[in-house]
Amino acid sequence: MTAIRVLLADDHAVLRTGLAMLLNAQPDLEVVGEAGDGDEAAALAREIEPDVVIMDLTMGRHSGLEAIAAIRQAQPAVHVLVLSMHTDISYVRTALAAGATGYVAKSVADAELLIAVRAVAKGRTFVDLAVTDGALREEAMGLLTGQGDEPSAPLHRLSRREREVLLRVAQGFTNAQVAEELGLSVKSVETYRARLLRETRLAHPR
């Protein structure tokens, strides 16, 4: 198996060290470079051509947003996952508009970050639903489904696990792929999807 090559871009060296330890402990992930600001990240991405760049938004000389745009323009095959302390919907929208493939909060659980890295490496859009309150959860789903600000489902009635399944259904995952990503049985996913069919118009069984 070829490991997913990851470039870390954050102005806090301690955080980069912790992320590197987490990622390098996975057999399918490898940290191949680190950058302390957006300018360095864009230059290093051109040099080492990673699969995924984990990018903070607020850094020094060259902001993360500028770096995202520069990387995506020069290297369309490189996917950028934003890892930020900011959870306001405006940051999510701006990052995705700049070319980011995913967005997670720095407070996200380690397992969720690993899921996000693997998802964006495959070109899937990943927005962590745990980063915000209920309103942003609806906005995030709207971003993924192209429905803008209109609530796409009564998400407040769904459990966290149902929202996790719903997100992946909206991204086009099959039952088997959802089961693999979330550590569930295929039968459990089928049960969740049947329940979601009664709650939302986004679920499309395969």
Q: How far apart (Å, rounded) are the C-alpha atoms in residues 127 and 9?
A: 19
Q: What is the pLDDT of residues 9-22, one digit of tens each?
A: 999 999 999 999 99
Q: How far apart (Å, rounded) are the C-alpha atoms in residues 23 and 150?
A: 36
Nearest to 17 by CA among 27, 31, 1, 38: 31
Q: Which residues belong to CATH 3.40.50.2300 in the chain?
A: 4-132
Per-residue pLDDT for 204 more than 50?
no
**Residue of 123 and 197 predicted with greater confidence:** 123
Distance of CA 78 to the CA centre of its chain: 14
Q: What is the pLDDT of residues 46-94, one digit of tens each?
A: 999 999 999 999 886 667 888 999 999 999 999 999 998 887 777 887 8
Q: Considering the domain delimited by 152-206, tell me its CATH architecture.
A: Orthogonal Bundle (1.10)
Per-residue pLDDT for 181 more than 70?
yes
Record: fold of 4-132: Rossmann fold (3.40.50)
Question: What is the structure's pLDDT at 166?
Answer: 75
Q: How confident is the model at residue 3 (pLDDT cuts 50, 70, 90)?
A: very high
Per-residue pLDDT for 186 more than 80?
yes
Question: What is the structure's pLDDT at 140?
Answer: 47
Q: Which residues belong to CATH 1.10.10.10 in the chain?
A: 152-206
Q: How confident is the model at residue 196 (pLDDT cuts 50, 70, 90)?
A: low
Q: What is the pLDDT of residues 116-152, one digit of tens each?
A: 999 999 988 888 765 544 444 454 455 455 554 444 4
Question: What is the structure's pLDDT at 149?
Answer: 46
Question: What is the structure's pLDDT at 151?
Answer: 44
**Residue of 28 and 59 predicted with greater confidence:** 28
Prediction pTM value: 0.67
